[in-house]
Amino acid sequence: MNDRPDAQPQDRTPLDWEAIRGRLEGERGPRYWRSLEQLADEPAFAAFVEAEFPSIAPQMDRRRFLQVMGASMAMAGLAGCGRPEQGVPYVLQPEKIIPGEAQWYATAVTFAGYAQPVLGRTHVGRPTKLEGNPDHPLSRGASTAIIQAAILQLYDPDRSQAPRFKGVDTSWESVQLEVSRLAEGLDRQRGRGLHLLLGAHSSPTLQRQLDELLQRWPKARLYRHEPFEGDHYRAAERSFGRPVESRYHFEAAEWVLSFEHDWLGAGPQELPHAVRWGERKRKAARGQGEARLLVVESVPTLTGAKASERKRIEPEALQTYVQALAAALGEGGGPAQPLPRERQRWIEAVADGLKARAGRCLITAGERTPLTVQAAVHRLNQRLGNVGNTLTYSEPVIWLEAGGQRLGDLPALAEAIRSDQVDALLMLDCNPLDTAPADLGFVQLLDQVPLRIHAGLYYDETAAYSHWHLPLTHDLDGWHDSRAADGSVCLGQPLVRTFYSSRTLSAVLALMQGDLNPDSRAELRKTWQALDDTAWRQALERGFITDTAFPALMVEAAPITWHAPPAPVEGLTLRFLPDPSVWDGRLANLGWLQELPKPITKLTWDNVIGVAPKLAEEYGLSNGDVVRVTLDQQVVIGPAWVMPGHAERTLSLYAGYGRTRAGRVADRLGYDLAPLRTADDPWLRRGATLEKTGEFMPLATTQPFHLPQGKDIIKSEPRDKAYQKVPKEPLYRFEQAKTLYPPTPPNEPVWGMTIDLDQCIGCNACVVACQAENNIPVVGKEQVAMGRNMHWLRVDHYYKGDPAEPESSAFQPVPCMHCEQAPCEVGCPVNATVHGPDGLNEQIYNRCIGTRTCASYCPYKVRRFNWFDWTEDDEPSIQHQRNPNVTVRSRGVMEKCTYCVQRISEAQITARIENRPVADGEVQTACQQSCPTQAIVFGDLSDPAARVREGRDTQRHYALLEELGTRPKTTYLGVVELPKVVEDEP
């Protein structure tokens, strides 16, 4: 870190904590605020916000500005360098392909072993977009940011393109010869010496193949390594005597209490959790019970941000809180260390609320919390009668055994290598050299293995340390199957012919057993041979096989056994977490996710070391100060980030960075946390020290940019008032109002959008969906830091209350407002931004001359100027991903949200051909379609029965900056405030 060119000597003014406290105590601060600098009301921050491109204007003269522009243009050209690829045009056009008309295919992508059911859109044979599968009960047409980015990974030019032997490209024929020699020796020894390490998988086909492999070689050994899977299977085994899958039915839970569990945040089950919680919130809005979320956690998360009440704790106190709750529910005695009085009152009140809603409540614990805590939560849910109502159990989705053999873990494999039991090691779809805890010494261990074979999507760190590397196909260009979170089998069919010289994992396993011409589709069909051709075709059309979801199991939780609380340890506690965008690093080379502002911090292109405001004040830290974290002589150096609501004596470290062979996008970004993790304590360690190095590292965050100046940016209403009716909706174009625009043509729709801030969970699915749909380029860390990020839709994060422990958070998606009285239209000197006949604020690119006047006139800060041509030098493979229905913009033009006008036009053309009006809900913008909680609704405002009109006649409906009189057609439904469980004492 100290040698990095972006680390600079410290020469900055630290945060003024006295000013922050003064504004809060004197009630001079804003009700909702976005950053600590804003709360401190620093003059530098005011200049920062007022500048069009804040990070450069206050301190950069004209000469330096031109140097930056020149350097950036040079780097933009270099970014496109690489091996050219040749596309193959049609000779004879395939049947049923109509140029300009999209084809849709049901398929699936996998994340950490779980299937994510999707529909893939292709244009003339090119996959361009993924949407959630509306027929699958877990997806219901929604998706996540990670699912959306899977289409970019398909086209990643840094994917492995051919087999390699000791780093040199080779052929599959050479691989076959090596595998044949290996198989002959294994046959003689019945598989002794063969060890296989896999990532998490739920594929029935792979499990069948492994069963067959172990029948042939019964002495082979299998292991699995999923870096951030957690211990939920082990905890279930402790509680029930067998591993089971927990399936949360949030749609039925009126009260949810979560302990260190970010179930709304990124993860393999993020989508079904968000979909179900969105359903619960809609039911509560209709008066069908409550939707109260209570969170106890140490590090700020999305789930904590959306909680009606969040309690900040130190990680060591977690068992004490759970034990206090158990005692209040009548399950055992109280904790050995009593809680503070106000927290004890809160726990007792929560227990009373849960008992009053027995069978309609839910308690959850994070999969990376101690086993004792998770087992206790299983018991408490059973005691409350939640099992069978808000919680069910099933067989594990991720398979834990094959051929009757329980899969070992990474420490067990390490021990086998040390014992000289491993002659050949197959590492399939995993990267242990990057993700293994450093104390295992995996690099040194691999030196002891005579034959190392790696199969993966990239030539990554583990591949480079193996003798043989076998490139795997992507989920979207190969045949595969896997199970979704409910156990239902999803079928993955390729959207395009296999890229490069790659094979599916099932083909690699078939090759291992002597099939010289493996066919992954044939392997899939062999697994599901019970389906006749008709049923098979129907399953492919749906994307999943019906009636394959796991049934609920009847299990009985054992009584709680508490362990002694941990003894006090001098120093700080470390929490190790996956990155909310790139997870454990497997997604690190995807520019969409690197540039995606992380939900809580709005950081891009880096990981940070999270610290609490009090700890930052104690050490004199500001955002970007480089710090050294030391524990047991192991050191990690990285930039600090002050996180409101963070536990005071805890540091949070994030995985996914410090990669050396991720690809040209991600190599050598951020720090690697592996040196501080151990196999025995992979999630939490205590006794660390923190030291300020005196250096500063610039970080690219969007949190201070594009800050609207006005009142009621975030509007909130108490629940008893939020749904009260108002006399009249705000004026819209279809109503009579004074205007300079010509009258609306008869029967013309008036398109508008409503965004429910109470539903929005800040997950960023809408941002990446918009990027994929509208060909929005990635510009890099330097340009983001200058305020030049190109996203047409941003999600602002606001806090309310004391930075040490904010009362609440709110997320606000901000697209173009499509104002009726649009200031940008008045300001444009060349009439490039105009009002369309259906009320859309349109942008005509070939008129735009780049004056940026419209951006200056826009009070919502939603316009983006394309400074450089970021698309001209893109790899051909990346160019193939682009949506042909959206213009690919060159430099020098202004861009903004268009309400996905291409989708509007497509629906209107279809309706005109069928001689009917466009039906309500027929047009879905990309952001709306991806939203798992249905927070975004789009439709015709002139239709009184349209869903987009719901809630607009209530107290919580408002327009952003409505005092300016712009009459935006994008409006909001405010946050619903619930009364506290325990009112504050006077």
- CB burial class (10 A; 0-12, 13-18, 19+) of residue 670? buried
Of 116 and 99, more confident: 116
Q: What is the pLDDT of residue 208?
A: 94
pLDDT of 405-442, one tens digit each? Answer: 899 999 999 999 999 999 999 999 999 999 999 999 99
Of 117 and 11, more confident: 117
pLDDT band at 34 (very low <50, low <70, confident <90, very high): low
Of 24 and 394, more confident: 394
Helix (H) or strand (E) holding 164: strand 164-165
Least confidently predicted of 215-224, 517-526, 720-729, 872-881 = 872-881
Query: In 3-state terms, what secondary structure has residue 257?
Result: strand
pLDDT of 759-778, one tens digit each? Answer: 999 999 999 999 999 988 88
Are 498 and 169 in contact by the 8 Å Cβ rule? The answer is no
Select from 453, 449, 500, 450 the least CA-distant residue to 474.
500
Task: Lay out the sheet containing 292-297: strands in order across.
Answer: 309-312, 292-297, 255-259, 361-365
Residues 6 or more apart in contact with residue 393 via CB below 8 angstroms? 236, 240, 244, 245, 246, 247, 387, 552, 553, 555
Decide if pLDDT at 536 tops 60. Answer: yes
Angle at 102 between CA 96 and CA 104, to 5 degrees: 85
Angle at 240 between CA 234 and CA 244, to 5 degrees: 60
- The residue-averaged pLDDT of 28-50 equals 58
Q: What is the pLDDT of residue 69?
A: 35
pLDDT of 250-259, one tens digit each? Answer: 999 999 999 9
Q: Please count the other Cβ atoms lying within 10 Å of the Cβ belonging to residue 333.
A: 9
Decide if pLDDT at 506 tops 60. Answer: yes
- DSSP structural state of residue 398: S
Are 686 and 947 in contact by the 8 Å Cβ rule? The answer is no
- The residue-averaged pLDDT of 725-738 equals 58
Decide if pLDDT at 593 tops 80. Answer: yes
CA distance 750 to 768: 26
Rounded percentage of the chain residues whose pLDDT exceeds 90: 60
- The residue-averaged pLDDT of 869-878 equals 72
Q: What is the pLDDT of residue 192?
A: 94
Q: Please count the other Cβ atoms lying within 10 Å of the Cβ belonging to residue 30.
A: 16
The beta-strand segments (E) located in 829-872 are 833-835, 841-843, 864-865
Cα-Cα-Cα-Cα torsion 823, 825, 828, 830, nearest 10 degrees, comes to -170
Q: What is the pLDDT of residue 27?
A: 53
Q: What is the pLDDT of residue 272?
A: 95
Q: What is the pLDDT of residue 38?
A: 58
**Any bridge partners for residue 635, and if so which?**
630
- The residue-averaged pLDDT of 687-710 equals 87
Least confidently predicted of 29-43, 513-527, 669-683, 826-840 = 29-43
Question: What fold is seen in the domain 716-977?
Answer: Alpha-Beta Plaits (3.30.70)
- The residue-averaged pLDDT of 576-591 equals 93
Q: Please count the other Cβ atoms lying within 10 Å of the Cβ belonging to residue 441.
A: 14
pLDDT band at 564 (very low <50, low <70, confident <90, very high): confident
Decide if pLDDT at 28 tops 90. Answer: no
Q: What is the pLDDT of residue 625?
A: 93
Least confidently predicted of 821-835, 848-862, 864-878 = 864-878
| Residue owning tokens 């390594």 | 225
- The residue-averaged pLDDT of 585-608 equals 93
Query: In 3-state terms, what secondary structure has residue 436?
Result: coil
Are 948 and 936 in contact by the 8 Å Cβ rule? The answer is no
pLDDT band at 390 (very low <50, low <70, confident <90, very high): very high
Of 739 and 664, more confident: 664
pLDDT of 964-986, one tens digit each? Answer: 888 899 999 999 999 998 876 54
Cα-Cα-Cα-Cα torsion 565, 566, 571, 577, nearest 10 degrees, comes to -90
Q: How far is C-alpha 594 from the geometric centre of its chain's CA atoms? A: 11
Question: What is the SS3 string spanning 325-339?
Answer: HHHHCCCCCCCCCCC
- The residue-averaged pLDDT of 392-397 equals 95
Structure tokens at 290: 């409550």
Q: Please count the other Cβ atoms lying within 10 Å of the Cβ belonging to residue 99.
A: 9
Give residue 762's region: left, alpha or beta (phi > 0; psi -120 to 50): left
Q: Please count the other Cβ atoms lying within 10 Å of the Cβ belonging to residue 465.
A: 18
Give, in order, the Cα–Cα distances in Å from 4 to each of 55, 553, 633, 637: 21, 54, 22, 11
Decide if pLDDT at 6 tops 50. Answer: yes
CATH of domain 232-394: 3.40.228.10
Query: In 3-state terms, what secondary structure has residue 25?
Result: helix
What are the domain boundaries of the chain? Answer: 8-60+568-701, 164-229+399-542, 232-394, 716-977
Residues 6 or more apart in contact with residue 37 via CB below 8 angstroms? 15, 44, 45, 48, 704
Residue 714, φ and ψ in degrees, nearest 5:
-110, 120
Q: Please count the other Cβ atoms lying within 10 Å of the Cβ belonging to residue 152.
A: 21
CA distance 1 to 7: 7
Cα-Cα-Cα-Cα torsion 139, 142, 144, 145, nearest 10 degrees, comes to 150
**Any bridge partners for residue 169, and if so which?**
164
Of 289 and 101, more confident: 289
H helix count then E strand count, the chain: 30, 42
CATH of domain 8-60+568-701: 2.40.40.20
pLDDT band at 50 (very low <50, low <70, confident <90, very high): low
Rounded percentage of the chain residues whose pLDDT exceeds 70: 88
Q: What is the pLDDT of residue 690?
A: 95
Of 267 and 124, more confident: 267
Decide if pLDDT at 73 tops 80. Answer: no
Q: What is the pLDDT of residue 51?
A: 53
pLDDT band at 838 (very low <50, low <70, confident <90, very high): confident
CA distance 688 to 690: 7
Cα-Cα-Cα-Cα torsion 922, 925, 930, 932, nearest 10 degrees, comes to -70
Are 894 and 741 in contact by the 8 Å Cβ rule? The answer is no
Q: What is the pLDDT of residue 20?
A: 63
Are 922 and 941 in contact by the 8 Å Cβ rule? The answer is no
Least confidently predicted of 81-95, 399-413, 683-697 = 81-95
Decide if pLDDT at 482 tops 70. Answer: yes
pLDDT band at 79 (very low <50, low <70, confident <90, very high): very low
- CB burial class (10 A; 0-12, 13-18, 19+) of residue 85? middle
Are 360 and 390 in contact by the 8 Å Cβ rule? The answer is yes
- The residue-averaged pLDDT of 398-411 equals 91
Q: What is the pLDDT of residue 943?
A: 87
Q: What is the pLDDT of residue 68?
A: 34
pLDDT of 232-265, one tens digit each? Answer: 999 999 999 999 999 999 999 999 999 999 999 9
CA distance 92 to 356: 69
For the chain, the average pLDDT equals 86
Decide if pLDDT at 1 tops 60. Answer: no
Q: Please count the other Cβ atoms lying within 10 Å of the Cβ belonging to residue 800.
A: 17
pLDDT of 145-202, one tens digit each? Answer: 999 999 999 988 899 999 999 999 999 999 999 999 999 999 999 999 999 999 999 9
Decide if pLDDT at 754 tops 90. Answer: yes
Select from 789, 788, 758 the least CA-distant residue to 597.
789
**Any bridge partners for residue 940, and if so which?**
751
Structure tokens at 973: 């439904």
CA distance 209 to 146: 29
Are 453 and 467 in contact by the 8 Å Cβ rule? The answer is yes
- CB burial class (10 A; 0-12, 13-18, 19+) of residue 26? exposed
Of 386 and 720, more confident: 386
CATH of domain 164-229+399-542: 3.40.50.740
Q: What is the pLDDT of residue 84?
A: 29
Residue 272, CA atoms < 13 Å, CB-side half-sphere: 18
Q: Please count the other Cβ atoms lying within 10 Å of the Cβ belonging to residue 870.
A: 22
User: Strand 309-312 to strand 292-297: parallel, antiparallel, or no bridges (unpaired)?
Assistant: parallel
DSSP per residue over 259-281, as a string?
A: ES--TTSSSTTHHHHHHHHHHHH
DSSP per residue over 871-890, as a string?
A: STT--HHHHTTS-TTS----
pLDDT of 437-460, one tens digit each? Answer: 999 999 999 999 999 999 999 999
The pTM of this model reads: 0.90
- CB burial class (10 A; 0-12, 13-18, 19+) of residue 334? middle
